[in-house]
Structure 1
Amino acid sequence: MERISFCPTLAAPLNKSEVASSRNDKSQWKTKENRPCLMVVGNDSAAAGTLKEALGEWGYDVVAARNGWEALVLAGRRPVDGMLVDMDMPIMDGRTMLSELRWLGHQMPVLIMSNESDEQVHPQLLMEGAQGFVLKPPHFQSLQQTCRKGFAK
């Protein structure tokens, strides 16, 4: 039997082959400007709105998810070029979401957003597939530089 997911919080399993086939057809999601698409994942709607606005001004198309589970579902339906993921969320936290994302075969860059600069957790998250970290609340000039560096193709 094919392993669907190792996360016990997933109510409806995600199938790796279904995710891969939907991710390969990017043509339906291309924008007129062909801008890179980023996903903002976090349960603070005000912060997500501010991030969406800033990222849009910096040349990104932006989609939002309220938690890790919703982000996994969206990533299976719509290809994204990178993610900004809040570490602390309900339903599925950022660390679990990153692990599930990699297990499902998604290889886009992921930047983790956190209130704390935990020097013990950061190296572990890098080993688990994160490309970098953003302290919350973000300083927008440094966030812009981090996004350009972290999401450069």
Structure 2
Amino acid sequence: MNQILIVEDEIRLAAFLQKGLRKKGYITTVVEDGQQAVEMASSKQFNLMLLDLGLPVKDGLTVLQELRNQGKKLPIIIMTARSDEREKTEAIAYGADDYLTKPFPFQDLLSRIEEYLCLVTG
């Protein structure tokens, strides 16, 4: 069963994502800040991470850098309200697999999740 780590400090959005993904059969864990994200991703086996950039304690780009520096290869999809092209380019350069600008249709996110999980699991 695929496990997804949702890193989102906006409680309502995190709950919406968790509910929708669980309905599709995914196991989800939600954390609300960047430090928790690094700790969870480092200590548990997740198949994919959904990562907001605007997080308390550590921002999403820092989380992304730390995980990639640790050699974590799990797909990471950035979900952010930031639409700055420079930040998108920076996130991809740091190792993000994809970048979605909020608000986005849930189906778009689901399609990308399925695509990356297919690549990982074969």
The normalised TM-score by structure 2 is 0.90
Pair 1:78-2:44 in alignment: yes
Q: Percent identity?
A: 29
Partner of 1:56: 22
Cα distance in 2 between the residues matched to 1:126 and 1:78: 24
1:88-142 CA-partner distances (Å, limit 9, x unpaired): 0110010000001111221100001111322222122112100001222231111
Aligned length: 119
SS in 1 for 2:25: coil
4+ long deviations beyond 3 Å: none
Instruction: Identify, as 1 or 2, the structure richer in helix.
Output: 2
Residue 96 of structure 2 corresponds to: 130
Give me the CA root mean square deviation.
1.2
Partner SS state of residue 109, structure 2: helix
Q: Does structure 1 residue 109 correspond to structure 2 residue 75?
A: yes
SS of alignment partner, residue 120 of structure 1 = helix
Aligned counterparts of 1:116 and 1:78: Cα–Cα separation in 2: 28
| One-letter amino acid of the counterpart of residue 11, structure 2 | S
Cross-structure match for 1:41:
7
Matched residue type, 1:68: G
2:63 aligned to which of 82, 88, 97: 97
8 Å CA contact 1:132, 1:150 repeated in 2 = no
The amino acid across from 2:39 in the alignment is V
Tell me how far 1:150 sits from its aligned partner.
2.9
After the TM superposition, which residues 21-32 of structure 1 pair with which residues of structure 2 at under 5 Å, given as runs?
none
Q: Look up the equivalent residue of 2:68 and give its one-letter code.
A: R
Which residue, out of 12, 17, 32, partners 1:66?
32
Give the number of the structure whose alpha-carbon radius of gyration is greater. Answer: 1
TM-score of the aligned structures, taking structure 1 as reference length? 0.73
Q: Distance in 2 between matches of 1:138 and 1:67?
A: 21
Aligned partners of 2:42 and 2:67 also within 8 Å: no
Given candidates 90, 106, 109, the residue that maps to 1:140 is: 106
What are structure 1's unaligned runs of at least 5 residues? 1-34
